[in-house]
């Protein structure tokens, strides 16, 4: 498969009306709204990986209700969920320009409950944040 064989992704910048409290530029691609350019770039990467057969079952904004001892503690909504490899490992990804304490607590709790969370930040993945 060649890059030229893939459908063109149509992206447009959305107005920040109602907007982002972190100064992110909101973007819409193929009817999906993203909170930042970095998040939309990651979506494009994951979409290409799915088309190439490297991942499958890509979902956007899945909801994870996190329970401790049978009590719902919080809801965590990462940016992406997909299945990777022949072992079908479920991966959740979150793209964060700045990691705030509340998000970090949810991520740590989800990891403690056994979810595989991959965090993409400016420090770990600079290419998304250009």
CATH number of 38-129: 3.40.1350
Note the pLDDT tens digit of each residue in 31-48. 888 888 889 999 999 999
- Tell me what pLDDT residue 29 has: 84
CA 97 to chain centre: 12
Question: 26 or 19, which is more confident?
Answer: 26
By the 8 A CB rule, do 28 and 11 touch?
yes
Global confidence as pTM: 0.76
- What are the E-state strand segments in 15-129? 27-29, 32-34, 55-60, 64-68, 71-76, 80-84, 89-96, 117-121
Domain ranges of the chain: 38-129
Q: Which of 11, 36, 34, 12 is nearest to 23 (CA)?
A: 36
- The pair phi, psi for residue 87, each rounded to 5°, is -80, -5
| pLDDT for residue 91 is more than 90 | yes
Helices (H), 17-71: 37-51
| pLDDT for residue 70 is more than 80 | yes
């Amino acid at each position: 498969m060649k890059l030229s064989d893939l459908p063109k992704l149509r992206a447009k910048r959305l107005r920040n009306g109602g907007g982002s409290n972190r100064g992110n530029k909101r973007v819409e691609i193929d009817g999906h709204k993203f909170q930042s350019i970095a998040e939309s770039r990651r979506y494009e990467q994951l979409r290409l990986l799915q088309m190439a057969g490297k991942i499958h079952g890509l979902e956007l904004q899945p909801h994870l209700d996190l329970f401790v001892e049978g009590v719902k503690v919080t809801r965590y909504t990462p940016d992406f969920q997909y299945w990777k490899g022949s072992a079908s490992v479920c991966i959740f990804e979150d793209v964060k320009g700045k990691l705030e304490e509340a998000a970090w607590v949810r991520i740590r709790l989800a990891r403690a409950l056994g979810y595989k969370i991959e965090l993409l930040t400016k420090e770990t993945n600079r290419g998304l944040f250009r």
